[in-house]
Structure 1
């Protein structure tokens, strides 16, 4: 199971790099423009993905920054957000690689941002982290195409073929 999640961590980095490469073509005004998306803009959507990753990685590692709200804007400017995304993707790859195989069958006990206690299988937590990113990358992908940009192919199958 570890190898499965290591592959998804690498895919995640690959997909984020491709998406951010296209997002870099936006003007600052486009990046910030409210497009009535769930997190309003490309800026809001990409920040939300990073926020959620930091929340989950803190639960897994017991360390790291703790965002206060799921719509928090951690990085106002695109370049700073892109650098933080790169670092977080490397962190996620490292965290998965450092786990013993037995951890994937164990439970993770954690607290929500509202401090409510939960228990979830560790493998389900990782599946959620990667699925969550895929979901919101899809939203960002749509926003990019609404601006007339040629959004990248970021399907998992393309990652596997890109080896």
Structure 2
């Protein structure tokens, strides 16, 4: 039983890290002229804003699937607010994801259909994939910021979160 609680704690820590990293990136993005968030780049997504929406979209649909609420993508696909509202919605979703992670049975199999195929994956694997996915795309946003000559960008790496946590800064 103790081993299961330790495993759950690790996933909760990863959810906490995800919020921390998202918030750091959001802090940096709010310092920019909004027009820069729509400058086009060659990459997975054409703009910083599109990349952020994609991260939010992934968190949203997977949280909905984990909860058994369908894919829940409408909040993201119909979003028409400004950047401040976008960041706020993304932060709320990340917080809800963490709260869900605190109570979920990590071994519960989640069934879903994608592109005509049916899948069954344990909750823990979906949760880990979503947080890894966010890290990947936050890295892409950092590369876009560097191309915009933004020099001051906060670290969002997991190891930096571990360091800050050990120092008592978070």
Q: Answer yes or no: same fold by TM over 0.5.
A: yes
Query: 1:35 is paired with a residue of what secondary structure?
Result: coil
Q: Distance in 2 between matches of 1:151 and 1:39?
A: 20
Give the TM-score normalised by structure 2: 0.84
**Counterpart residue number, 2:8:** 2
Unaligned runs of 5+ in 1: none
Aligned length: 157
Please tell me whether residue 59 in structure 1 is matched to residue 56 in structure 2. no
Structure 1: 4+ residue segments shifted above 3 A: 72-76
Larger Rg: 2
Cα separation, partners in 2 of 1:93 and 1:109, compared to 1, 3 Å: same
Which digits, 9 at most, give the CA deviation of each residue in 1:139-161, with x for residues without a partner? Answer: 01111121122221111111111
In the TM superposition, 1:5-154 aligns within 5 A as 5-63=11-69, 66-67=72-73, 72=77, 74-99=79-104, 103-112=105-114, 114=115, 116-149=117-150, 150-154=152-156
Q: CA deviation at 1:9?
A: 0.3
What's the RMSD between the two structures over aligned residues? 2.0
Unaligned runs of 5+ in 2: 1-6, 166-170
Give the TM-score normalised by structure 1: 0.87
Query: 1:162 is paired with a residue of what secondary structure?
Result: helix
